Structures are given as C-alpha cells and as structure tokens.
Homo-oligomer: A and B are copies of this chain.
Amino acid sequence: MHRNNHPGAESRAGIADVASLAGVSQGTVSNVLNHPERVAEETRARVVRAMEMLSYVPNGLARSLAAGSSSTIGLVVTDLSNSLFIDIARGAERAAELAGVDLMLANADGRLDREERYLGLFAQSRFAGILMTLNDEQHFASIAARATGRTPLVMLNFNAPEARFCSASVDNELGGYLAAQHLLELGRRRLVFVGGPDELKPVQDRGRGYRRALREHGLGSVREVMPERINRADGWEIGLALADPVARAEVDGIFASSDLLAAGIVQALAGTVGVSIPEDVAIVGFDNNQAAWDSPIPITTVSQPGEAVGRIGAELVQTEAAARSGPHAHRSVILTPELVVRRSTSTVPALQTTA
C-alpha cells in the first residue's frame, strides 16, 4: 500500500500533521479531542487552529479501534414503508440524541436476509449496541441463534424472553381486547376478525385479546379470516369478499389486525354500492398508521406508541452497553396501546387534527 500521489489529492491530514503544525505531540492533539480539560487553554486554541487549517477530519475507525468502543448505535427496521417503524426510528433517534450518541438506520425492506446482513454489518462495525424490530417467533429464534451475545441487542416490537434480551413492545393482547370491546359497546354483534399468518405473533396476540372480549360478552368468534400477508392489497381482496355478507347484514363489525389491511377493506367496501361505513359496518384497524388517518374514511384504530418503543429501546440498549463489563439483568418493557376513535366506527368523531 503506498500513498496516493496523484495531483490535487494530497492525502488527508492525520493527527500527526496537526501535531507538527501546532508544535505539540500527538498525545496532546488527542487530548484536545477527548479530554479538553487536560490541555492548557492556549495550547488547545493552537491545536484547534491547526485542525482548521488542515481541515482535519478525525478518523472514526481508528478512534473506535484504539478506544475499544464506539458511541454509535444501530437500528435495523423491518420495513420503512410502514409508518410505525418510522415512529420507532424517530423515538430511538431522539433518545440517542439526548444521550449524545449517534444512530444509524438500516432498512430490511421486508426481507429476512437483509435483516441478518445488516445485523452482521452492525456487529462488525462494533457499534455500542443494536436495536432491531422483530415480528415473529420463528424470526426471533433465527436471530437469537445467531446472536453472538457480544454486542448488546435489544428487540423492539417483540416481547423477547428476559433471560436473553432486553425488549420494548406493546401489549397486543390488550389492544385486540380494546378493539373488540369498542365494537361491542357500539352494539355490534356480528363481528369478523381479520387476522394474519400464524407466524406473526403480535397478530395472534391481537386475536387472543379480541376473543377474550367476545367471551366476556358471551359470544364466540364466528368469522375469522386469515390472509397470507397483512398489507393493503390483501385487505382489498378481503373487503371485496366481505361486501356480500355486509350487504346481507350478516356482518356489522370488522376488526382488522393492521391498518393497512383495514384501509384496503375500507377502500373495497366504500366503493361497493349500498355499503356505508360505519352505519352498515364498523371497522377497527391496528397500529395508528398514516394509512388509518389518511384513509377516505378515517379509520378507528388501536394506537401503538411507536415513538415510546423506540425511545425505550434506545435507553435499554445504552444501559446494557454501559453494563458491558459487569452483569446485566435484561428487562422487557411492555407498553399500553390506546384506542383512537375515528369515522370508521363513529358518526360523531372527535375533531380530527392532522399529524
């Protein structure tokens, strides 16, 4: 490896260049960066001036390598097109900022291989800690298996066993319960639950809560639909399939396990002649996605406190990182979801503000 000497590309200034220009030792320059209080004011000023003259940019790689630690944490997110994850990212970023650490994001875009690849990248980058959103047991198992355990790893949106990981998640069972209770309080009795694939643990939990509410009202869950995926297109198809039962008054309430699903259903149903929402059928979604308040008919939903999940996750990972050299008791924080009533279940909704 030899220095690149092509014209106009004098090699980047290093700490040694700064030191000699300022007439001090490397150690002093380093102290200016890391322990300014140890350096006499006059010397410090001289060094800073030298840095500016050379437009010196410290090499973070060498810094972290030598110091044996970095102050960056990573967040691997399942899919940025779901606004829940953006909320989580925002929360994590704010917490990181308050703590004075940096946060880098990676978007798996719904692909498991990408998730694992980014996890590896973050681990190799020796980040102080890693945050990752998780969706199902199986997925958790595969991630947990490959976790070396050297970099603190905190699970978001998934209630991981405290024996191994910290995690921050939402009480999905309660959310499902709240949704069902709302429909029941509106007098709806002919309900449909639109769930999702078995592997999606949060969705299963929502279903459990829903059924519990039904039982408490002496009802059994009659109709349940389990689509392969839970995005808008699936909702659309389900909506089309439900148009008939709704028109025949066999169905008067729908709980969809995601807002995307609910938005698709609303889109399909609202376009169907003779079906009016919420009169003929009331619909509740889950997540409080953009999709919910942005829908033609704003959708009642169970709000996941995404920002809080992100914030708490970031706090947990930093606590764990700080305890690196000692024992650490993992904590799994479970947050409470909240019902947000909108037009899809109520003809007199609360005044709706945007944002």
Contacts and interface: CB of A to CB of B under 8 A. Distances in A.
Nearest to A126: B61
Interface in A1-46: 1, 4, 6, 8-9, 12
A319 interface: no
Contacts of A295: 294, 296
The list of the 8 closest CB pairs from A to B, nearest first, reads: A60-B124, A105-B105, A296-B296, A61-B65, A104-B104, A61-B61, A294-B294, A60-B125
Interface string A256-295: 0000000110010000000000000000000000110011
Given A124-B60, A294-B291, A232 B354 contact: yes
B80 A86 contact: yes
B105 A106 contact: yes
Interface residues of A, number: 65
A81 B72 contact: no
Nearest to A298: B296
A294 B297 CA distance: 10
A187 interface: no
B57 A124 contact: yes
A52 to B, nearest CB: 11
A190 interface: no
Contacts of A86: 80-81
Contact of A1 (B68, B70, B80, B232): B68
A89 B79 CA distance: 11
A164 interface: no
A83 interface: yes
Given A81-B290, A90-B107, 16 more contacts: A4-B324, A4-B325, A6-B327, A9-B324, A58-B124, A59-B124, A60-B121, A60-B126, A61-B125, A61-B126, A65-B65, A80-B90, A81-B83, A102-B117, A105-B105, A105-B106
Contacts of A121: 60, 72, 102, 104
Contacts of A205: none
A222 interface: no
Contact of A9 (B1, B81, B297, B325): B325
B93 A150 contact: no
Interface in A69-96: 70, 72, 74, 80-81, 83, 86, 89-90, 93
24 contacts: A4-B325, A6-B326, A9-B325, A57-B148, A59-B65, A60-B121, A61-B126, A65-B65, A74-B104, A80-B86, A80-B89, A81-B86, A93-B107, A104-B104, A104-B105, A104-B106, A105-B106, A231-B355, A233-B355, A290-B294, A291-B294, A294-B295, A295-B296, A296-B297
